[in-house]
Chains A and B, each alone.
Chain A
Amino acid sequence: MGDRHHKPLPTTPIEERVVALEALLTGKGILTSEEVDRVIEYYEHEVGPMNGARVVARAWCDPAYRERLLEDATSAIAELGFSGPEGDHMVVVENTPAVHNVVVCTLCSCYPWPVLGLPPNWYKSPPYRSRMVREPRVALAEMGCRVADDTEVRVWDSSAEVRYLVLPMRPEGTDGLTEPELARIVTRDGMIGVAHH
């Protein structure tokens, strides 16, 4: 706890509990506070939906990569250098005019960190977790994602083993865009399936 003086004093029981857990772990020599700081930095700056956006843009531009991605997503994603906790068993599901995919974790908050970063709060909320399974079309519409009546909605429940990533359809009118330009129009919500791209 060498940098304790940099941190505000805990004011609530839960904050105290986190401080106490860190003290326990550092006291036993399992971690140092500097290591914890580095993990925070890493998740703040280096992991996030921009990684998944690169995967999607590559798949839109390179048919052979798209095929590898749909066959063995974990390896194809690792080709771009993305792997780590919550990314060991990736499956990519592809949106088509006939099928719209959306991902949920009904039990907790399973989410592919290496390609999407940490889940947004709504993803972890009980309403999202229950309603996206019960009435996906209505829940999607409320989130601004209308799915045509003749398009099938498939809901994928991330489980102990598998983390899903949606491969959105490439938007029309983007033929002239380069791969990095395409990566900038791919959104986190599109890769969860609560938006079209």
Chain B
Amino acid sequence: MSVRDDAFEEATIPRSNGALTFDAPWQSRAHALAVSTVDALGLSWDAFRVELMRAIAQDPGRGYWDSWVIALDSLLRGLGLNGLSEVG
């Protein structure tokens, strides 16, 4: 694996205590949706985390936040809340 991987490129950004974590508004929205849903339904965070691990393992090359959305969808479907069907 090359040292020029994006992951390590990004690590050269000057260190700051205010870290940029989202590349687009939909990502922070997806994050907040999962946090709010787990809270509103009284679930443990692990209920979501298990779905996230599964989504990442399913396709490690997929974007992290894409996997996050798939995990949320799958959590909702598992609860019988009629998650959305797979998109592309």
Contact = CB atoms under 8 A, between A and B. Distances in A.
A34 B27 CA distance: 17
Interface of B: 1, 3, 5-8, 10-12, 15-26, 28-33, 35-41, 45-46, 49, 52-53, 56-57, 60-61, 63-66, 69, 72-73, 76, 81-84, 87-88
Interface in A133-167: 139, 142-144, 160
Contacts, number: 159
B84 A21 contact: yes
B53 A127 contact: no
B15 A118 contact: no
Interface residues of A, number: 60
Contacts of B31: 39-40, 43, 118
Contacts of B10: 120-122
Chain A interface main SS type: helix
A36 B28 CA distance: 10
Interface stretch (A24-32, A58-66, A67-75, A169-177): A24-32
A19 to B, nearest CB: 8
Contact of A160 (B16, B49, B65): B49
